[in-house]
Amino acid sequence: MFRKATPLFLICETPMHAGSGSDLGVIDLPIQRERHTSFPKIEGSSLKGAIRQAFEDKIGQEIKGVCTPENTVTVNIEQQSINLTFGPENAGNDGHAGALGFTDARLLLFPVKSMKGVFAWITCPKVLQQFYKDFSLAGITDLPKVQGLSKKTSTCCELFVSGKNIVLEEYTFSIDMDCECTKLSDWLSKHVTHDRFWKEKMKRDIVVLPDEDFTDFVNLSTEVITRTKISNETGTVEQGALFTEEYLPAESVMYSLALASPIFKENDDEKGIFNLKKMQNDECKKKKEEQLVMEFFKKGLPEVIQVGGNATLGKGLVRTKSL
């Protein structure tokens, strides 16, 4: 059972295709979506695999600020530590579960073209209520709450075209300024990104829309790209090589929970850098295994990882930030 949870924010730097396979609908290769809401998501298994790969790419590099049995503050990333944290890829007779898990990444803020301010981030009461509930699992219960179902934005919003009107895509919405929405926007700007420009934009340009409008946008305003394969012999499209792919737009903001448990090894000598009995530092001795696992994850997580398909096309670059 997982004993420690930490929120992880994911900001799409480039369009991302976390695919769900082929489909008989209008789009040949759609993105992953929640069944009951149709909101975009990233399966926990897809996210875990991407993060594991990011750690394996760093094998041999140092992590600073972690507890180690050798009483140092740095440790090299090794395959053993990765296997203990994420689980062995080829289990065999020595198989065991990884000490780190991830929930499905949910959509929090969706970018939509705006007549003023270039684009706005939209969300809705359904998304926010799920956000509050998920963060409570990590012990974070002091988030600013946006109540009610009316259309709201920050008191310093700069998206207004005239009066209370904001134009998103080709639709006009009458939006009220709200102090609670301002507090939430401020909180997100402090915790989602390090970049000063995006902090300021996030303070101003988050809009809370009704659930129905948000659902329409996340279903109809994703990026859909038509791709072809040209035959070298004829210079024309090869038969059956015309298809469409769906992408979650750049600047989309998602979140997941990283879940840590004790190491699934009975023999302490097989626990590597997570062996509490070999810790020499008194402060480290007081910690629990799940704390060491989470420490290893947070300190070792790269700032940018690649998630989903078409990595060679520059897709799926995601900026990470853990709390």
Looking at the chain, list the stretches that DSSP marks H as alpha helix, in order from N- to C-terminal side: 44-56, 79-86, 125-137, 179-192, 196-204, 211-220, 282-285, 289-300
pLDDT band at 92 (very low <50, low <70, confident <90, very high): low
Each domain of the chain, given as residue ranges in start order, spans 4-229+244-322
Q: What is the pLDDT of residue 71?
A: 63
In this prediction, residues 145-164 reach a mean pLDDT of: 90
In this structure, of 94-98, 123-127, 206-210, the range with the lowest mean pLDDT score is 94-98
Please count the other Cβ atoms lying within 10 Å of the Cβ belonging to residue 8: 23
List of residues 6+ apart from 221 with CB closer than 8 A: 110, 112, 113, 169, 249
Q: What is the pLDDT of residue 186?
A: 96
Q: What is the pLDDT of residue 239?
A: 75
pLDDT band at 236 (very low <50, low <70, confident <90, very high): confident
Q: What is the pLDDT of residue 66?
A: 79
In this structure, of 30-39, 136-145, 260-269, the range with the lowest mean pLDDT score is 260-269
At 163, which amino acid appears? G
In this structure, of 71-80, 132-141, 301-310, the range with the lowest mean pLDDT score is 71-80
166-223 pLDDT, tens digit each:
999 999 999 999 999 999 999 999 999 989 999 999 999 999 999 999 999 999 999 9
Measured over all CA atoms, what is the biggest interatomic distance in the chain, rounded to whole angstroms? 72
pLDDT band at 57 (very low <50, low <70, confident <90, very high): very high
DSSP state of 144: P
Q: What is the pLDDT of residue 24?
A: 65
Mean pLDDT of the chain: 91
Which residue did the predictor score with more confidence, 316 or 76? 316
Q: What is the pLDDT of residue 73?
A: 63
Kindly tell me if the per-residue pLDDT of 116 is higher than 90.
yes
Q: What is the pLDDT of residue 96?
A: 80
In this structure, of 38-52, 125-139, 280-294, the range with the lowest mean pLDDT score is 280-294
Closest-CA residue to 51 (of 281, 310, 300, 268):
300
What SS3 class is residue 30?
coil
Q: What is the pLDDT of residue 267?
A: 82
Q: What is the pLDDT of residue 254?
A: 98
pLDDT band at 25 (very low <50, low <70, confident <90, very high): confident
DSSP state of 152: E
pTM above 0.75, yes or no: yes
In this prediction, residues 30-51 reach a mean pLDDT of: 96
